[in-house]
Amino acid sequence: MGHRGSVIVNLFTVLILAGTVVMGLYFFVILLSPSIFLNPFPPSTLPAIAVLPSVTPAPPTSIVPTFPPLFTPTPTFTSTQPRPSATFTPGSEATTPAPDITASDVTEVTAAPGNTETFTPTPTPTDTPSGPTPTPSRTRSAFPFTAQENAPIPVQNFANSAGCNWMGIAGQALGLPPGGNPIVGLIVHLEGGGLNADAFTGSKTAYGPAGYEFFLNNHVVQTTGEYKVQLLDTSGTPLSDFVIVNTFADCSKNLLLVNFVQNH
C-alpha cells in the first residue's frame, strides 16, 4: 500500500511539472504574440493612422514686374504766333491788358503711327594736323662700330680667280662718316661652320686699304644663321655686336661683304 501511494505521488508530481512547463510555454507564446487566439485578454486594435494630405508648393511667382507697353511721347508744337500786346489809344486813361493765351492757342499735333522720325547723329569731322610725319631716330648702339647698312651684301666673287669654286666673307673697317677713313690693325673674329678664326683689317687690300677676308668653302652652299663675325680691338675687346651672315647656293652670291663703320 505504501509503494502504491508513492507511485501516485510521483505521477502527481510529474503532472504538476508538465503542467508548469505547459503553462510556461503558454505565457511565453502570449508574450511573443499578444494577439494570438490563445490570449484571453488580447490587446485592443490600434486605430488606423490618419494620412494627412501633402502640401503641393505653388509655382514660383516671377519677381520681374510686368511693365506697361512702351510709352511713345506725342510731340506737342506751340504756336509761334506773336503774343498780342497792349495798344495805347490817345485820350484814354486805361490801357488794354494783353489777353492771356489759352489752351486754344496751342496747336497739338499727333504723330501718325508708323511714321516716327528717327534722329541719326552726324559725326563731326575732326581736323587732322597736317605736316611732315616725324621720322623716329635710331637708338645709339652700345658699341662704337656697327655693320654697314644692308650688310651682309651678297655679290659675286671678284677678289680672286677661283670663281664659283670659292665662298667667303670679306670687307673692311671704316671711320666716322662722312669720309669713313679706313682703319687698319683691328681684328675681325669669325665663328661658325666649324671655324673659329681671326683676320686683321688691312690684311686683304683687294677689298680696300683696311680689307679682311675669310675663306669658308670651295663650293657654294646655302646656310642660315651658321656664321657670324664681330669686330674687336687688339686686346680682344668687342667693338661691335655679332653680325649674322647667311650664305647662298648661288655663284653670283658667293662673296658676303660686311663693312664695319664707326658710329661714335
Per residue in 195-204, pLDDT (tens digit) is 999 999 999 9
Highest mean pLDDT (candidates 54-63, 85-94, 123-132, 160-169): 160-169
Domains and CATH numbers, the chain: 1-39 (no CATH), 145-262 (2.60.40.10)
pTM: 0.50
Q: Show the 3-state SS of the chain.
A: CHHHHHHHHHHHHHHHHHHHHHHHHHHHHHHHCCCCCCCCCCCCCCCCCCCCCCCCCCCCCCCCCCCCCCCCCCCCCCCCCCCCCCCCCCCCCCCCCCCCCCHHHCCCCCCCCCCCCCCCCCCCCCCCCCCCCCCCCCCCCCCCEEECCCCCEEECCCCCCCCCCCEEEEEEEECCCCCCCECCCCEEEEEECCEEEEEECCCCHHHCCCEEEEEEECCCCCEEEEEEEEEECCCCCECCCCEEEEECCCHHHCEEECCEEECC
pLDDT of residue 136: 59
Average pLDDT, whole number, for the chain?
80
